[in-house]
Amino acid sequence: MKIGTDIIYIDRVEQNIKQYGNKFKEKFLSPQEIGIAQKIETVAGFWAAKEAISKALGCGIGKQLSFHDIIIAKDKKGAPSFTLSKEAQQRHSVKESSLSISHDGGFAIAVVVIVLHNRCSPSSDKLQ
């Protein structure tokens, strides 16, 4: 089991949107995510979520995992979840996950718990 967390100052996200417009959102959100993230708090929460996920996977955002490899969705009640792109799922092998995003007092925070598939083959557990 792996845990990741991230916190971001909402004003920082807002300033980037004012300066760069939609290009800032497009840097780390898919068109579907942009459609969901109508409030600045949600945009900040999605940023924190993607950072938290990358931390839980132990690789950060970079070669092994891009912002666009992480797809955040919300259910009918507004609870967030995520999936990984096919390529990222093959690299990281997530079995189960849970994501929580919250915002208050000018900050957005995300916490993720990830369970990875066991990559050991059955024969490697035996002593020879």
Options 25, 50, 92, 103, the catalytic residue: 103
Strand partners, 107: 9, 104
Give yes or no: 23 in active site. Answer: no
Short-list 78, 64, 82, CA closest to 36: 78
Give yes or no: 92 in active site. Answer: no
Options 27, 55, 76, 92, the catalytic residue: 55
Burial of 97 (0-12, 13-18, 19+ CB in 10 A): middle
- CB of 98 within 8 A of CB of 82? no
Question: What is the distance, to the nearest Å, from the Cα of residue 97 to the centroid of all Cα atoms in its chain?
Answer: 11
Q: So which residues are the catalytic ones?
A: 55, 103
